[in-house]
Amino acid sequence: MVNNKVQDELIKTIDEPLDFTEDELIENTKVKSDFWKRLFKNKVAIFGFTIIVMLVLVAILAPLIAPYPFDEQSLKNMLEPSSLQHWMGTDEFGRDIFSRIVYGSRISLQVGFIAVGIALSIGTVLGALAGYYGGIIDYLISAITDIAWAFPTTLLAIAFIAALGPSLINVMIAVALVNWSAYARLVRGEFLSLREQEFVEAARVLGMGDLRIIFRHILPNAIAPIIVLTTLQVPQAIIIEASLSFLGLGAQPPTPSWGSILSSGRSYIQQAPWVAIFPGIMIMIVVLGFNLFGDALRDVLDPRLND
């Protein structure tokens, strides 16, 4: 039984104007800002991040770094080992391997960021809609996501290439189609828990539409696991592209994908093993960088996992 005094207090709070704005609402619910400081104190994170930054720089500055064009053939210098003129030797057409590897970073970067970027966009939107609305929308989206998720990634990528034909663009499409379901599942899970929180109810009370709540309020809080997933997806995408190009199903000659350099290295492994050794080392370094950064990121984000 509510007495009159309490009733008066209640009526007063309902009638008072809300004392926070939308911007304040967003500020208070964002990921804590000291997260960045903690991340960049972590040595492993810095090392991994440095590798990633260097990959991006090499890709952008490739024409300045590479001493030769990647497709310049020189039939009198075929299959030469490392020398001062050719730091990583030459391939079967006399092309400088170091230059080809430098330009190859562009391919890996394109696949890594563009293809994964597409997968991230599609997957995040679908996952957000499924997680926020629930019901029939969730059911339909989850059904499609589960079917896509159940497919083995390499085989699905090969299947797409078999249908669309070998080319770098088709590899990017294939990688995007193979990877979106991971994002959808992740984001849906995040939204299922986040939508029950009070700030969502507060936003609704302020009169905001659904789409605004989804993209301006809930999504920024789900960013952390999305970034962690991306640090896993990008190296996986790079390896899928390398595998497809290795099989001849990806970038076509003379495009210097690291995978296709490895493929020709395989034919000449006995007389010229360096052709195969160097691209593999590059792939390994890049994947290692992403894995280190991702590991450190996970450690910083989830203190429970700290040993």
Partner 1 sequence: MYKYILKKIIMMIPVLIGMTIIVFLILHLSPGDPVEMIAGPRASPEVYNNIRTHLGLDQPLIVQYAVFIKNILKGNLGVSILQHRPVIDLIKERLPITLDLGLSVLVVSFLIAVPIGIIAAVHRNTWADYLVMSGALVGISMPTFWFGLILMYIFAYKLRWFPIAGYGTWKHLVLPVVAMSLNDTAITARMVRSSMLEVIKQDYIRTARSKGLAERVVIYGHALKNALIPVITLLGLKIGWILGGSVVIEIVFNRPGIGRLMVDSIFARDYPVVQGSMLVLTTTIILGNVLADVLYAVVDPRIKY
Of 51 and 194, nearer to partner 1 (C-beta) is 51
Site pattern 230..249 for partner 1 (x: CB under 8 A): -----x---x--xx--xxxx
Of 132 and 258, nearer to partner 1 (C-beta) is 258
| In the complex, least distance from residue 249 CB atom to partner 1, rounded to whole angstroms | 7
Does residue 222 interact with partner 1 by CB under 8 A?
Answer: no
| In the complex, least distance from residue 198 CB atom to partner 1, rounded to whole angstroms | 30
Q: Please, where are the H alpha helices in 134-273?
A: 135-150, 153-164, 168-194, 198-205, 210-212, 219-246, 258-267
Q: What are phi and psi of 216, to 5 degrees?
A: -95, -20
* DSSP SS3 for 2: coil
Please list, in sequence order, all residues whose beta carbon lies within 8 angstroms of the beta carbon of residue 24, skipping any fewer than 6 positions away: none
Does residue 152 interact with partner 1 by CB under 8 A?
Answer: yes
Q: What distance in Å separates the CA atoms of residue 231 and residue 107, rounded to the nearest whole number?
A: 18
Q: What distance in Å separates the CA atoms of residue 222 and residue 242, rounded to the nearest whole number?
A: 31
Q: What distance in Å separates the CA atoms of residue 137 and residue 120, rounded to the nearest whole number?
A: 19
Site pattern 265..304 for partner 1 (x: CB under 8 A): xx--xx--x--xx-xx--xx--xx--xx--x---------
Does residue 179 interact with partner 1 by CB under 8 A?
Answer: no
Q: What distance in Å separates the CA atoms of residue 6 and residue 69, rounded to the nearest whole number?
A: 81
Which positions touch partner 1 (CB under 8 A)? 143, 146-147, 150-156, 158-159, 161-165, 235, 239, 242-243, 246-249, 262, 265-266, 269-270, 273, 276-277, 279-280, 283-284, 287-288, 291-292, 295, 305, 307
